[in-house]
Amino acid sequence: MADHSSQIVLSCRGVDKSFGPVRALCDVDIELAAGQVHALVGENGAGKSTLSNIFGGVLQPDAGRLMLDSRPYAPAGRREAQARGVRMVMQELNLIENLTVAENIFLDDLPSRLGVVRFGQLQARTRELFERIGLDWIDPVIQIGRLGVGARQLVEIAAGLSRACRVLILDEPTASLTDRETAFLFEQIQRLKEGGAAVLYISHRMEEIRRIADVVTILRDGRFVGTYPIDGITAEQIVDRMVGRRIEAADLRRVPRLGPVALRVEGLCAGPKVREVSFEVHRGEILGLAGLMGAGRTETLRAIFGADSLGSGRITLYDDPRPIRIRSPRRAVRRRIALLTEDRKDQGLLLPLAIRPNVTLAAMDLVSTAGWVRHAAEARAAGALVEQLRIRCHSAEQPVATLSGGNQQKVVVAKWLLRDCEILLCDEPTRGIDVGARFELYEVLAQLADRGKAIVVASSDLKELMLLCDRIAVLSAGRLVRVFERPDFSEQAINNAAFAAYLGRSDGGPTEEHV
C-alpha cells in the first residue's frame, strides 16, 4: 500500500470566524494528510462544525487562508467544494424527506434524457453502490421520511461515499448507529485511507477516535489547543484538554431509591416494529432500552407518548390500576409524561425562534396569565435553565438555529425540566453532545431520578446505558427479550440478547456465534 502520510491535501492557517458577538474560531491552524484519519474534538461550541463548514464551502472565513492540494482554496458554496473533491456528511442530516433514497443520494447528478429522469438507471446505480458498500438491505425507492434517524444517517454516509473524493468530512457520523453499522462505516473509511483520501472525523466518542484516527486536533472555545499523534495521547488527556477540567465517570454511580411503579406497559403493540412489549419503571429509577437499529426502541417510546398509534396493549400510570389510552402528545404532557426526541431538529425545537420561547413552549401556563405571556417570568425561567445546563449562548434571546448541536439538545432538555414531568422518555438523549455536556446531562438525569422521577433512556451506546441505568431492557426485532439488573451488565450479554430474535432465540441468552 502506498504511503500517502506526508502529502498534505487540505490545510488552513489563521482561520477566524464570528457570528455577531460570538467568536466561533480564532486563529485556527490544521493540516489534513492523504491516507490519514484526522480526528477533530472539542466541546459543543468549540468550533468543530464551523471549521468543517468552512472546509465544505458552506461558510466563508472572516480571515485566514485555505489550501487544497497546494493551491488556494476558497469555495463559494458546497457544490463548488464537492466539485473540488471535498465532501461532507454532517451531524444535521441534509436529506429531503419526500424524495426517495436514490433521489437523495444522486440529487446533484440525476441520470436523465431530454430533461426526464431515468428512474430505472437511478435505482440501478443506487443498488450497485449499496451492494459495493454493504447497504443492500435499504430499499432505494423508499421515501427518506419513512426511515428512522439511524437509517437516514447511513443514507447520508452513502451519499458521501458515492463519488471519489480527496477529503471526506464526517461530523458525528455514528451518533445514531449501532456497533454493527459503525463497523460498516469504519470499513468504508479504511478503503478511503487506502485510496489516499484524507478524512476529517468529528466525534465525541473517545473509543471511536482511538480506534479509527491517526492524529487528533483539539479545539477549546474556538481556539487551537494542539495536534497530537493518537498513539501519543490518552483518552483522559484528550478530554482534559478539551474541557479544561477532569471528568470522573465514578461520580455518576448512584444507589437508586425506588418508589412505586410510575409506568407499566403490558403487551404493547404499535405498527410493525413493536410487538408484545411489557416492562415497568419505578419512581427513582433509570431504565435503559437497548437493541439494534430497527429493534423498536424509538417506536416504543413514541407509542407510549401518543406520537404514534397504539395497536393494542395496556398502559397504566402512577397508582391508578385503570389502563389509559394516550391518543396524542398533548394528552401525554397533561399526564406528566415527556419525550426527549432523537430528532431535535424536526421534532424537538422551533429553530428560527430564540432559546426563551423554545424553553417555555411546553409550559406556557407557568409563564402566562389569561392567555397573555408574562415576558419577565418567561425570561427568568429560561435564563435560570440556560445557567443550570450551561447552554453556550450570548443570551436567551439567541436563535436556537445558531447554537451548536449539543447546545440545541440542552434547550430540549430545558423545555422538559421546566414542565417538571413525572415520567421522562429519552430517545438518544446524548446524540451529538460532547463528553463534558454528556456527563452534565447524565448528572441532570441522575438528579431527577433522585427526586423520584421515572426515566426511560433508549440509546445505541451500550456504555452509556451501563453507566447511567439501574436496569437495561433489551429489544430484539420488536420484542422485549431480556432485562438486565446492574450486577449482570455485560456488553457481550446485552449484544447476545439484541441478536436473539434474529437468530431464532426467545430468551435473549447467548448463542454459539456470540459466546
Find the CATH number of the domain harbouring 193. 3.40.50.300
Task: Assess if residue 116 is contained within a domain.
Answer: yes
Question: Are 391 and 426 contained in the same domain?
Answer: no
Task: For residues 397-414, give the mean pLDDT.
Answer: 86
Task: For residues 442-448, give the mean pLDDT.
Answer: 89
Rounded CA-CA distance 341/211 in Å is 29
Residue 62, classed as helix, strand or coil, is coil
Q: Residue 247: what pLDDT? A: 53
The residues that bridge with 225 in the sheet, in sequence order, are none
Decide: 431 and 413 in contact? Cβ < 8 Å: no
Task: Assess if residue 52 is contained within a domain.
Answer: yes
Most confident option among 21-35, 428-442, 489-503: 21-35
Between strands 8-19 and 116-117, the pairing is unpaired
Instruction: Give the confidence band of 512 by pLDDT, cuts at 50, 70, 90.
Output: very low
Question: Are 332 and 351 contained in the same domain?
Answer: no
Question: Are 322 and 226 contained in the same domain?
Answer: no
Question: Are 240 and 279 contained in the same domain?
Answer: no
Grid coordinates given for 458: 433508549
CA distances from 57 to 75, 82, 87, 316, 335 (A): 5, 9, 10, 52, 47
Task: Assess if residue 216 is contained within a domain.
Answer: yes
Query: Within its chain, how far is the Cα of 27 from the centroid?
Result: 29
Question: Are 130 and 202 contained in the same domain?
Answer: yes
Task: Assess if residue 441 is contained within a domain.
Answer: no
Burial status of residue 376 (CB atoms within 10 A of its CB: 0-12, 13-18, 19 or more): exposed
Question: Are 329 and 401 contained in the same domain?
Answer: no
Task: For residues 316-335, give the mean pLDDT.
Answer: 91
Residue 66's nearest CA partner among 200, 238, 220, 228 is 200
Decide: 340 and 429 in contact? Cβ < 8 Å: yes
Between strands 63-68 and 71-72, the pairing is antiparallel
Residue that finishes a domain, picked among 184, 218, 244: 244
pLDDT at 510 over 50: no
Question: Are 378 and 483 contained in the same domain?
Answer: no
Question: Are 324 and 363 contained in the same domain?
Answer: no
Task: For residues 428-450, give the mean pLDDT.
Answer: 82
pLDDT at 161 over 60: yes
Question: Are 189 and 210 contained in the same domain?
Answer: yes
Q: Any idea which of 10-19, 38-47, 235-244, 506-515 has the lowest mean pLDDT? A: 506-515
Residue that finishes a domain, picked among 396, 420, 444: 420
| pLDDT, averaged across the chain | 86
Decide: 48 and 221 in contact? Cβ < 8 Å: no
Task: Assess if residue 446 is contained within a domain.
Answer: no
Rounded CA-CA distance 103/495 in Å is 34
Decide: 22 and 187 in contact? Cβ < 8 Å: no
How does pLDDT run across 91-111, given as a tens digit for each residue?
A: 666 788 889 999 988 887 888
Q: Residue 1: what pLDDT? A: 43
Q: Residue 151: what pLDDT? A: 81
For 422: left if phi > 0, alpha if psi spans -120 to 50, otherwise beta; the answer is alpha
* Interacting residues of 105 by C-beta distance below 8 A, sequence separation 6+: 126, 129, 155, 158, 159, 162
Residue 498's nearest CA partner among 263, 297, 208 is 297
pLDDT at 45 over 90: no
Rounded CA-CA distance 55/2 in Å is 26
* Interacting residues of 48 by C-beta distance below 8 A, sequence separation 6+: 40, 41, 42, 171, 202, 219
What percent of the chain has pLDDT above 70?
93
pLDDT at 162 over 60: yes
Decide: 74 and 35 in contact? Cβ < 8 Å: no
Structural domain for 16, as ranges: 8-244
Instruction: Give the confidence band of 508 by pLDDT, cuts at 50, 70, 90.
Output: low
Give the relative orientation of helices 435-450 and 405-419 as an angle to the nearest 10 degrees.
10
Rounded CA-CA distance 343/429 in Å is 10
Rounded CA-CA distance 175/184 in Å is 14
Task: Assess if residue 508 is contained within a domain.
Answer: yes
pLDDT at 254 over 70: no
Q: Which helix (H) or strand (E) holds 171?
A: strand 167-171
pLDDT at 249 over 60: no
Question: Are 48 and 164 contained in the same domain?
Answer: yes
Residue that finishes a domain, picked among 373, 399, 420: 420
User: Which residue shows C-alpha cell 472572516?
Assistant: 62
Determine how many CB atoms are found less than 10 A away from the CB of residue 91.
Answer: 23
Q: Residue 158: what pLDDT? A: 83
Task: Assess if residue 154 is contained within a domain.
Answer: yes
Question: Are 461 and 332 contained in the same domain?
Answer: yes
Q: Residue 174: what pLDDT? A: 82
Instruction: Give the confidence band of 506 by pLDDT, cuts at 50, 70, 90.
Output: low
- What string of H, E and C letters represents the secondary structure of 83-109? HCCEEEECCCCCCCCCCEHHHHHCHHH
Question: Are 224 and 325 contained in the same domain?
Answer: no
Q: Residue 92: what pLDDT? A: 64
54 vs 106 pLDDT, higher one:
54
Total domain count, the chain: 3
Rounded CA-CA distance 5/229 in Å is 12
The torsion angle over the Cα atoms of residues 320, 326, 329 and 332, rounded to 10 degrees, is 0
Q: Residue 294: what pLDDT? A: 81
Instruction: Give the confidence band of 514 by pLDDT, cuts at 50, 70, 90.
Output: very low
What percent of the chain has pLDDT above 90?
48
Task: Assess if residue 447 is contained within a domain.
Answer: no
